[in-house]
Structure 1
């Protein structure tokens, strides 16, 4: 019986359990056939049985070290198992024997990209294209690497070419991202729409188009697109046995549990809506990160704040916090920009001059943190601003500069300190929302392709009446913005 052939046929038909059983019979019948082990390994990988796939592919290579497909598949399996070093070793072994192996170049480029080694990833994608000029996935990867290096014109040209040559939703979507980085909003919208024309259920483009709508002040459409964020970003909804509240009228005895999501700045921004929920529910509670617990408890006394949601007893509904924009129908007209957070008492800062708090970087865990953060060395002109006493609001980051370091604490401690400052100067991070929510004067140093909540071109914000926006005139260039801020400090 042709166990091997029948196993391959079953795998091609998608009958993977049957295929594995047949291929295991084939291995027993021909234990030294490298191809049989390789096909078994590939089929096990399709079942996400990574350890078994690794064992089968490794055996294939023991029998036939020059089996390129087996080595490529083994590298992919090792990556799935989280062993990128071993995966890279397999790819480099393959390329030493066959430098023109385009799939290996492409996969090595992907590995280097995931480790944010942008220039090395670019080199591998270019080598893949030299080996196979029609390798559109490599061209797509190259376009994204050019974006990561802020080479926008090259990125546009590369992604335009591959999107037209091989129409794929992801290529059009990423072309939209490049246009957006360049501030070409209409072109970005057209590219996202083209992605949706090709794949109407493409959640990522619907979500990103929603953020573009919010950025341009199209509130209703924006919130609808924003509701695609869980599917688009591959994030699970909160695990809850409760009914998800979708804005319907509920009985006054109903109780709502609000689950946090995204970053701390997002939670501070949307906490302003919690009191509105008490108008609809008899009881409202929020699962709250410990760093925000004291601040929120002091600011919203009618809301219960829980350190964890181990028991949902007593609640009838739940909602992810960032869905409040859509369900409450938030528009610019409904945002008054007034403060809604309360700061506790703090010892007066006994220094002369204008007391300015500074935050120059966000969480490194955020994918685009390097674009919104200012390299510390570029802040040097600030230290020469006469009459300013600088205070670091950058907890957990050491800086060698004339910055007074404040004691570490939670957001309640930070709020108390900010209440003693004359001005907060910050990039797009949680400090901007904290200072704005407190109603303290805050200047936002925004990247060129600003986050959706700061909208386009405006110097103010409907979210915070005390906030003023300084924007980059070019992406990744902070010098002009810093000079503008210095001039502002001098007036």
Structure 2
């Protein structure tokens, strides 16, 4: 990792936002304007905002990263909208249903990577918003997304063990989660069939609006570091996040809380691959913190 990136990661993990923004500003000042939104690069490697003012201008926010990134940074859209003349968001098709509920967005465009929207007076990539606005997570509204809760048994717990192919080290072997399913209503939030004793053995729907309804109906979501974690946090649901020993820059190693989501609790591996002790700790906390769930599900 380059020194600048390492220093920026340390600042973000430590909640030293001013230092992180100063580093981002230094990086921006050194960029060649000709490389802005470079079509030769994959979308997730592009930079978009060139530092120009967005006050009183027609602004386009492009969502070039993952679904979780868009969900995480959507919290800053109301602040941007209050300063811009108009706000257009070009977002992943799967997220358009949820983002359409945000009244601050004037126009929502499904992102077509083959035909991206033409530039506006000011373009930003959604992950650039905290730096551009100088807005830490604590100053953004929470929760900032909403979904109508699915009709689930009282005390239902949602489990997500799969983080996809981006970083396999974030995934938990599903068999390890079996003790969490004992004597309580549990559903899987993974879009694949499950051998666990869950309410939906066929798996979670791929449709994100339906998934959001399930998350909103859960008493607790237990998830690895993936889109489901950001969805649950954005909806303000109690969320327990299972993290590898060296987590992503968003999460402070060893910390229990995170400024990104007030309703989230963090659980860390002690060493790489150590999911067993993480699940044992979660099982203990589940019994201690949610006794009503166990009582309601075990008593006839």
TM-score range, shorter chain: 0.7 to 0.9
Q: CA deviation at 1:226?
A: 5.6
Query: Are 2:192 and 1:381 aligned?
Result: no
Gaps of 5+ in 1: 1-172, 174-203
SS at 2:247's partner residue?
coil
Superposition RMSD in Å: 2.8
CA distance in 2, matches of 1:445, 1:319: 31
Q: CA deviation at 1:389?
A: 1.2
CA distance in 1, matches of 2:285, 2:15: 27
CA distance in 2, matches of 1:487, 1:311: 48
TM-score by length of 1: 0.51
List aligned pairs for 1:270-285, cutoff 5 A. Answer: 270-285=73-88
Q: Specify the alignment match of 2:121 in structure 1.
A: 316
Q: CA deviation at 1:425?
A: 0.4
**2:160 aligned residue (359, 362, 372):** 359
Determine if contact 2:36/2:50 at 8 Å carries over to the other structure: no
Gaps of 5+ in 2: 40-47, 289-300
Determine if contact 2:188/2:204 at 8 Å carries over to the other structure: no
Query: Are 2:242 and 1:438 aligned?
Result: no
CA distance in 2, matches of 1:300, 1:448: 39
Q: CA deviation at 1:208?
A: 3.5
List aligned pairs for 1:179-258, cutoff 5 A. Answer: 204-225=2-23, 237=37, 245-246=49-50, 248-250=52-54, 252=56, 254-258=57-61
Instruction: Quickly say closer, same or farther: Cα 1:226–1:453, change in 2 above 3 A.
Output: farther
Determine if contact 1:220/1:326 at 8 Å carries over to the other structure: no
SS at 1:470's partner residue?
strand
SS at 1:213's partner residue?
helix
* Deviations, residues 389-422 of structure 1 (Å, cap 9, x unaligned): 1101011x23212122255143222111112111
**2:145 aligned residue (341, 348, 368):** 341
Q: How many residues align?
A: 272
Structure with the larger helix share: 1
Q: CA deviation at 1:358?
A: 0.5
* Deviations, residues 188-231 of structure 1 (Å, cap 9, x unaligned): xxxxxxxxxxxxxxxx44224312221122223324546769x9
Q: Specify the alignment match of 1:269 in structure 2.
A: 72
TM-score by length of 2: 0.80
Structure with the larger strand share: 2
Q: Specify the alignment match of 2:198 in structure 1.
A: 403
CA distance in 2, matches of 1:422, 1:433: 16
CA distance in 1, matches of 2:24, 2:207: 29
**1:302 aligned residue (75, 84, 105):** 105
SS at 1:400's partner residue?
coil
* Deviations, residues 118-172 of structure 1 (Å, cap 9, x unaligned): xxxxxxxxxxxxxxxxxxxxxxxxxxxxxxxxxxxxxxxxxxxxxxxxxxxxxxx
Q: CA deviation at 1:238?
A: 5.8
With a CA cutoff of 8 Å and minimum separation of 6, indicate the structure with the bigger relative contact order: 2
**2:225 aligned residue (394, 408, 428):** 428
CA distance in 2, matches of 1:485, 1:462: 21
Q: Specify the alignment match of 2:190 in structure 1.
A: 394
CA distance in 1, matches of 2:226, 2:64: 15
SS at 2:84's partner residue?
coil
CA distance in 2, matches of 1:420, 1:372: 25
Q: CA deviation at 1:251?
A: 5.6
**Structure number with bigger Rg:** 1
Instruction: Quickly say closer, same or farther: Cα 1:404–1:283, change in 2 above 3 A.
Output: same
Q: CA deviation at 1:304?
A: 1.8
CA distance in 1, matches of 2:11, 2:219: 34
